[in-house]
Structure 1
Amino acid sequence: MSAKSDVMVERSGPVTRVTFNRPNSLNAFTPQMLTTATQAIEAAGRDRGVRVIVVTGAGRAFSSGADLSARADPDYQGGPATIKGVNGLVRALRTVPRPVVAAVNGPAAGGGCSVSLAADFIVARESAYFLLAFANVGLMPDGGATALVPAAVGRVRATRMAMLAERIPAPLAMEWGLITQAVADDSFDSSVDSLTTRLAKGPTAAFAHTKHAFSAAAISQLDRAFAVEAAGQSVLTGTADFAEGLAAFVQKRAPDFSGS
């Protein structure tokens, strides 16, 4: 096992496991953390001995998304870098020529939701949930969510998730077709292990071509979504609503948006 900053990378036979490792912040993303995770995914894709990649979180969350607490610092410069980092990780998950399993051990919110949904298989604890939380702070979804979510559940449900910022419990997410499987908390680890073992014994080259074909057919506009999202977030981070949303987040209160 190797640990680089806030990401742990473990190789066990044909399986590489990448774990977000900031449990005290619910694995909130930093730019360096995202870069490290992306490099680990890309390295696994180049290793012919790796047949499956698992992405998960340490502690009680998969990831809460961007580290908004850091944005309250007047000297914070990580906004664009975080968006770039999430996009890079999502792109790596979609293009790596190996099946990727997102083992969603707890909440997957904001950019963490985007990252989880970029996997080929999303297995979640029944107690986990998925949340496009961006509207709560006056932002729009990013990390490719505007392409990934409608491709899975359709425009109407995607709009509900994005604009109402509702928590979607894992069982409902499975019912919608957003994720592969919701399993009882006490059988989560064994379910993930069973799936990765089955995939590791499968036809790796056929999996890679199948994955590429599905991406080309269902989410061919992912790069376009990255660009549109980044442009939108650039505008929104300068609004009064974002300033109010961020202040409300830090102060742990409901925001009072003005619409400007």
Structure 2
Amino acid sequence: MRTLTLNRPHRRNAIDGALWIALAEALRAAADDRSVRALVLTGAGGAFCSGADISVPDNSHPVHRMRPLTDVAALLHELPLPTVAKVTGPAFGAGWNLALGCDLVLATPESTFSQVFTKRGLTMDLGGSWLLPRLVGMQQAKRLALLAETIDAVQAHDLGLVTWVVPAAEIDGCTDELAARLAAGPPVALAQTKALLHEGSDSTMHRALAAEARAQGLNLATADAPEAYAAFAERREPRFTGRWTVHRPPIRPATSENGR
């Protein structure tokens, strides 16, 4: 398990240009490190992330200014391992979309959420325009985006935008337990499952079936499926590694033409 902590508590972890670049580099490093089996994203000092830091003027072209945000959103979405957002305190604007980009979200009763963009004269970024309608439907997405309301963790949970709400005193332990469960899972199967779900949201049934067949072929070429079967038969927990192994059928002895 690896934890990435946004560490600008004096700005409620608002992300400036340097932190966007550092976050992208950290996500690339996690994707390339096979020892990392689950990723937790959180913030320091009782906040998750209050969004992009707009307090410092930036005179660069908007296209260049947006590129680091786009990189982070794409890297997080495509990360081939399960991700958990541990949200304490506010998650506003790009900060909320950063949490929504994770596979699972834990929050506390004190957590608050807002698609604050229109209050700043801006539009949604960090994938929010893609994520929200798929998570809550178009009408609720428009409500959250157009009105820029602040909602609490219970409301977010009711809308399906938070997976679990746990007491603040328990969130560290709950996050660690969840990450450990994910890290113990079959890495190839988890990566393929995540990719299938993402691709399926924009796909047809026939394309989804073809993608599932391809993914299952990859799973069956690892040691994890036989290990799962053996563990079930032996009544123990499986030990998944994601190790690649080709299961070849036994070679039959050669026979002569007349030896049928």
CA distance in 2, matches of 1:44, 1:81: 25
TM-score with structure 2 length normalisation? 0.74
CA distance in 2, matches of 1:218, 1:195: 25
Gaps of 5+ in 2: 204-260
1:41 alignment partner, one of 27, 40, 52: 27
Give the AA of the match of 1:17.
T
Note the C-alpha offset of 1:169. 0.9
Map 1:241-260 to 2 at 5 A. Answer: none
- Tell me what 1:65 maps to: 51
CA distance in 1, matches of 2:32, 2:91: 27
Instruction: Flag the 1:29–1:197 CA change in 2: closer, same or farther, 3 A.
Output: same
TM-score with structure 1 length normalisation? 0.74
| 1:146 partnered with 2:129 | yes
Moved more, 75-84 or 180-189: 75-84
- Tell me what 1:200 maps to: 183
Q: CA RMSD in A?
A: 1.5
CA distance in 1, matches of 2:86, 2:153: 12
CA distance in 1, matches of 2:11, 2:195: 34
Instruction: Flag the 1:219–1:145 CA change in 2: closer, same or farther, 3 A.
Output: farther
CA distance in 2, matches of 1:201, 1:77: 44
| 1:133 partnered with 2:116 | yes
Note the C-alpha offset of 1:31. 1.9
1:211 alignment partner, one of 184, 187, 194: 194
Note the C-alpha offset of 1:80. 4.1
DSSP-derived class of the 2:42 partner: strand
Residue identity (%) = 37
Q: How many residues align?
A: 203
Give the AA of the match of 2:99.
S
Instruction: Flag the 1:219–1:123 CA change in 2: closer, same or farther, 3 A.
Output: farther
Note the C-alpha offset of 1:123. 0.8
CA distance in 2, matches of 1:160, 1:77: 32
Gaps of 5+ in 1: 1-14, 221-260
Instruction: Flag the 1:92–1:107 CA change in 2: closer, same or farther, 3 A.
Output: same
Instruction: Flag the 1:70–1:79 CA change in 2: closer, same or farther, 3 A.
Output: farther
Note the C-alpha offset of 1:137. 1.3
Note the C-alpha offset of 1:200. 1.1
Give the AA of the match of 2:44.
A
| 1:116 partnered with 2:102 | no
Instruction: Flag the 1:162–1:39 CA change in 2: closer, same or farther, 3 A.
Output: same
Contact 1:29 1:82 in 2 (8 A): no
Contact 1:41 1:53 in 2 (8 A): no
- Tell me what 2:5 maps to: 19
Note the C-alpha offset of 1:82. 4.4
DSSP-derived class of the 2:49 partner: coil
CA distance in 1, matches of 2:26, 2:83: 13
CA distance in 1, matches of 2:56, 2:21: 17
Deviation >6 Å, runs of 4+: none
Higher Cα radius of gyration: 2
CA distance in 2, matches of 1:33, 1:80: 18
Note the C-alpha offset of 1:76. 3.8
Note the C-alpha offset of 1:30. 1.2
- Tell me what 1:54 maps to: 40
**1 or 2 for the larger relative contact order (CA 8 Å, sep ≥6)?**
1
Note the C-alpha offset of 1:20. 0.7
